[in-house]
Amino acid sequence: MIFETHAHYDDEAFDADREELLNSMEEHGIGAVINVSANLESLDRTRELMERYPFIYGAVGLHPDEIGDMSETVLEKIRTLCRLEKTVAVGEIGLDYYWDKEDHETQRVWFERQLELARQEKLPVIIHSRDAAADTLQVMKSCRAGEIGGVLHCFSYSKEMAAEYLNMGLYLGIGGVLTFKNARKLREVVAYAPMDRLLLETDSPYLAPVPFRGKRNSSLNLPLVVQQIAEIKGLSPEDVTGITEENAVRLFLNKRS
């Protein structure tokens, strides 16, 4: 079964048919989903989804574009949510210099604080990094993120940058961007990275793969990503599904062992 490691099913894009869509996951081969928090409101919505659907797990944290809402009180709320049985990661956290909604220093401060929280709570991290390659790597190294464990969500940097994270023992999240015509760099990364360090993700409702690019994404599109990885790696789709599921279980579900 496919293990979807990054989706946002609390997003309003799913308000019209959320229950119908989520109830169809198993019949389409989706065995587990991590719903990833981004903003303050999504912390509670992620908890609700975890409680309602047996196959949905949660990641809790504030996205770098949303850390204007961060405070010591919010950090303690995240800590409390980390202790729920089905919370499997702190995320998505990191740096975003593309939208530049928050100043870089403030982003870094709360990135580091949330990394430390993950270390304390013995949870892996889900990292968002956009147009912030050098600073993200510097923070990850200074905070010894390899000891914490985690995944670089929607990995978009070079093969050389991928090597830095792989050498730290971290994983790379691969989604619909792999199917885009301009994804040569990402295809090189997938060819380079060992299969036991790749995870499947969609970032739903965003980043739908070809031929659905520009439309609402969902985990039901992950077979298209599986097929691309299989072609690059010379494996069967079944092998890619099985290996990436094992990877996700190892990172997220064996977290407190």
Each residue of 69-95: pLDDT tens digit?
A: 999 999 999 999 999 999 999 999 999
Q: Which pLDDT value is given to residue 200?
A: 98
Listed range (16-20, 50-54, 101-105) with the worst mean pLDDT: 101-105
Phi, psi of 93 (to 5 degrees): -125, 160
- Find, among 79, 83, 31, the residue nearest to 249 by Cα: 31
Tokens of residue 111, six digits:
């990135």
Q: Are 60 and 78 in contact (CB under 8 A)?
A: yes
Q: Which pLDDT value is given to residue 256?
A: 54
Q: How confident is the model at residue 99 (pLDDT cuts 50, 70, 90)?
A: confident
What is the rounded CA–CA span in Å between residue 193 and residue 84?
Answer: 32
Bond into 64 cis (ω within 30):
no
CA 152 to chain CA centroid, Å, is 7
Q: Which pLDDT value is given to residue 101?
A: 84
Mean per-residue pLDDT, 49-65 = 98
What is the rounded CA–CA span in Å between residue 239 and residue 226?
Answer: 9
Q: Which pLDDT value is given to residue 241?
A: 98
Mean per-residue pLDDT, 42-51 = 98
Reported as type and span, the H/E element at residue 216 is none
Q: Give SS3 for 122.
A: coil
Radius of gyration of the chain (CA): 17
CATH level 3 topology of 2-253: TIM Barrel (3.20.20)
What is the rounded CA–CA span in Å between residue 134 and residue 138?
Answer: 6
- Find, among 250, 202, 219, the residue nearest to 25 by Cα: 219
pLDDT digits 0-9 by tens, 188-212: 999 999 999 999 999 999 999 999 9
Q: Kind of pairing, strands 87-96 and 171-174? A: unpaired
Q: Mean of the per-residue pLDDT values for the chain?
A: 97
Q: Which residues make Cβ contacts (< 8 Å) with residue 1, sequence separation at least 6?
A: 26, 29, 30, 31, 32, 241, 245
Q: Break the chain into its structural domains and give their ranges.
A: 2-253
pLDDT digits 0-9 by tens, 229-253: 999 999 999 999 999 999 999 999 9
Q: Which pLDDT value is given to residue 254?
A: 87
Q: Give SS3 for 18.
A: helix
